[in-house]
Amino acid sequence: MASDLRGVYAAVLTPFTDTLEPNLKAFVAHCHWLLAHGCDGLAPLGTTGEANSLSVAQRLALIEAAAGGGVPMGKCIFGSGSCALADAVAVTKAAVAAGSGGALLLPPFYYKNPTEDGLFAFFSEVVQRVGDRRLRLYLYHFPQLSTAPITVSLVARLKREYGDTIAGLKDSSGDWQTTATFLKEVPGFGVFSGSEQFLLPNLRAGGVGCISASTNVTAPLARPVYAAWRASEADALQQALTEARLIFQSYPLQAALKEMMAVITGDASWRVLLPPNHSLTMAERAELAARLGALPQMQPVLRAAA
């Protein structure tokens, strides 16, 4: 059985209180808002969700809040990576127990140049210690931040050992050739592109969708690309989507997205990030709003909350 999770996913932002605790109620509300505004599914607790800045207890509380708050767990892929094996196991277990569609696992990212044997051992320990056939693991290829690339050869070893448990991959490398190689070399692998910029090429090459930071805001533009990807208008829709994405990624991404959520919802508490991340400067805020506001396709998106 290949992965059946498909479509436009947002790497869900985590809202915080002014004492830097996750705002559970606002988080659940944001999950529902995303599903009502173009998202097919959700990927909370990833890089965008500042999960590595959270304790395990804070991460478990967010999973529990989502499950208890009626967020459809089958549409969720929870980030569950950690440098610490025990932590990665604890969060992955909680995601599976909550009924999540999958877990998105970073490689351990402190020690540099880990060997393939070392990464295989880490992922193997996670799979075996979770010990649940419902587990659908998505490997997280994000070498710019993890410093530990996921290779085709590693994926092949893991799939030989653990089969469908190794369900797919999120490719946040920003390098289309890497995505194309995974799609070619690992048939039936559930490959999400890490940016909606590559949504259309990924679908055309056999990928399953995108899991992106910026779809917290741009999902209403990404959804038509996904819906129409076999049709002739798809290229123009992708172009409109890419224009918005490229504006976001010219700023610190989490801060830019939280800024636009503050603008869209009128809730200034969206501007809180955990250190070392921090909010945009006043000049950046004005510039970002002006640049996005100048795109005709962003007009309905920016009025979404109204």
The residue ranges that bind a copy of itself (CB under 8 A) are: 20, 47, 52-58, 83-87, 90, 107-112, 114-115, 117-119, 121-122, 125, 144-145, 147-148, 274-278
User: Is the Cβ of residue 187 or residue 276 nearer to a copy of itself in the bound state?
Assistant: 276
CB of 235 to a copy of itself, least distance (A): 33
CB of 60 to a copy of itself, least distance (A): 12
User: Is the Cβ of residue 202 or residue 216 nearer to a copy of itself in the bound state?
Assistant: 216
Give which of 254, 299, 259, 301 is closest to 281, Cα–Cα. Answer: 259
Within its chain, how far is the Cα of 87 from the centroid?
A: 19
User: Is the Cβ of residue 128 or residue 239 nearer to a copy of itself in the bound state?
Assistant: 128
User: Is the Cβ of residue 74 or residue 111 nearer to a copy of itself in the bound state?
Assistant: 111
Q: Which two tokens stand for residue 114?
A: 């880990």
39 burial level (CB within 10 Å; 0-12, 13-18, 19+)? buried
User: Is the Cβ of residue 141 or residue 223 nearer to a copy of itself in the bound state?
Assistant: 141
**CA distance linking residue 36 with residue 171, whole number of Å:** 25
CB of 214 to a copy of itself, least distance (A): 17
CB of 166 to a copy of itself, least distance (A): 17
Is the distance from CB of 105 to CB of 139 less than 8 angstroms?
yes
Is the distance from CB of 96 to CB of 104 less than 8 angstroms?
no
Is the distance from CB of 305 to CB of 264 less than 8 angstroms?
yes
CB of 96 to a copy of itself, least distance (A): 18
